[in-house]
Amino acid sequence: MYLLELAGENDAFARCEARHAASAVSPLAPGLASARGIDPKRVTGLAYIHRASELVGTSTAGIDSARLLLELAGIDREGSVRVRARRVRETEVDTQRAERELGSVLVERGFSVDLEDPDHELRAVFSEDTCALGWLVAESRRDFAARAPTEKPFFQPGSMDPLLARAVANIAGARPGRTILDPMCGTGGVLVEAGLVGARVVGADAQRKMVRGARENLAEYGAAFDLFRGDATRIPLRDGAVDGVVFDAPYGRQSKIEGDLESLVAGALSEARRLAPRAVVIADRPWDEAAEAAGWTVEERFERRVHRSLTRHIAVLA
């Protein structure tokens, strides 16, 4: 079993993304999940998972309980070690004391301490009434700030932040050997993140300037891509040509195509159903009825508040 340290405030959304890199993902405590198996390489590309560790066990959230758990655990490794303790959701635990207490147990077991470059790292994570111990296996790459919308060569207001873009790309199935389509690609933020985890990306947009800008952004990050100006309701690809579709639908209150928005989104959902077995739709309102009319099943729904006047609704379709 494995311990997953979640990022963000929406644990259900983080677990949804985690299923891209792990199997049998289940809630463990606020900010934590368990998994039966993981793919360490994919964990490095997750947005809303900080770390994955081989689970030693769980106890109540006291340092003495954590120490007893470690003393009773079988340890099949040797070499140098460091202990890192973390509080989740403001749990009241002295993490420095926890590191000292657990470190002393490991020293008694014959480990040497190396705080800079150890052979092993023991994670002790405290959340509400739970402490989980685990041996670190993989960490996600936290370089998203460098790809903030305003840091890209081409920027437009309202562009999706790279954390969310990476998560929805992962949920749609982005990985090496897979093809991801965004038929309303805008500045290309989702396609950039899908490309960085190894997917081949295809994008379209009705506006010529968006296609040019998205091409510039994708080239900046070295992604393999095909972009063209086109209608999201009529993509010139054969049936089943891609593995996943992601699109951020125009926001009706700001959109210049308000009168045609219903038919645009409905048509894009129908076209996505023809092209792929899986899709993720982001919008300023739910589009469940249109998705079901197009033949999709809504597997999961999430809401993410951007600011007072905008909440993003995310639907996972299959």
| Spatial CA neighbour of 18 closest among 29, 122, 7, 121 | 7
pLDDT of residue 256: 52
For the chain, residues classed under CATH 3.40.50.150 are: 144-317
For the chain, residues classed under CATH 3.30.2130.30 are: 2-139
Residue with tokens 């299923």: 19
171 φ, ψ to 5°? -60, -35
Distance between CA atoms of residues 194 and 171, nearest Å: 10
Q: What is the pLDDT of residues 273-307, one digit of tens each?
A: 999 999 999 999 999 999 999 999 999 999 988 88
Q: Are the beta carbons of 180 and 245 closer than 8 angstroms? A: yes
- Please tell me whether residue 155 adopts helix, strand or coil conformation: coil
Instruction: Find the distance separating the first CA and the last CA of the chain, reported in whole Å.
Output: 28
- Please tell me whether residue 156 adopts helix, strand or coil conformation: coil
Distance between CA atoms of residues 217 and 197, nearest Å: 16
pLDDT of residue 260: 85
pLDDT of residue 88: 92
Q: What is the pLDDT of residues 52-65, one digit of tens each?
A: 999 999 999 999 99
Distance between CA atoms of residues 185 and 210, nearest Å: 8
One CATH from 3.30.2130.30, 3.30.420.40, 3.40.50.970, 3.40.250.10 for 2-139: 3.30.2130.30
Burial of 37 (0-12, 13-18, 19+ CB in 10 A): exposed
Distance between CA atoms of residues 43 and 293, nearest Å: 35
pLDDT of residue 252: 57
pLDDT of residue 183: 98
What's the DSSP call for residue 239?
Answer: T
Strand-pairing partners, residue 81, are 113, 120
Strand-pairing partners, residue 202, are 181, 226
Distance between CA atoms of residues 291 and 276, nearest Å: 14
* pLDDT average per 10 residues of sequence, the chain (318 residues): 96 97 98 98 98 98 97 94 92 94 97 97 96 98 96 94 97 97 97 97 97 97 93 97 97 58 95 98 96 98 86 96
| Centroid of chain to Cα 265 | 24
pTM recorded for the entire structure: 0.94
Measured on CA atoms in the order 223, 174, 30, 94, is the torsion positive or negative?
A: negative
Architecture, CATH, for domain 144-317: 3-Layer(aba) Sandwich (3.40)
H or E element at residue 135: strand 130-139
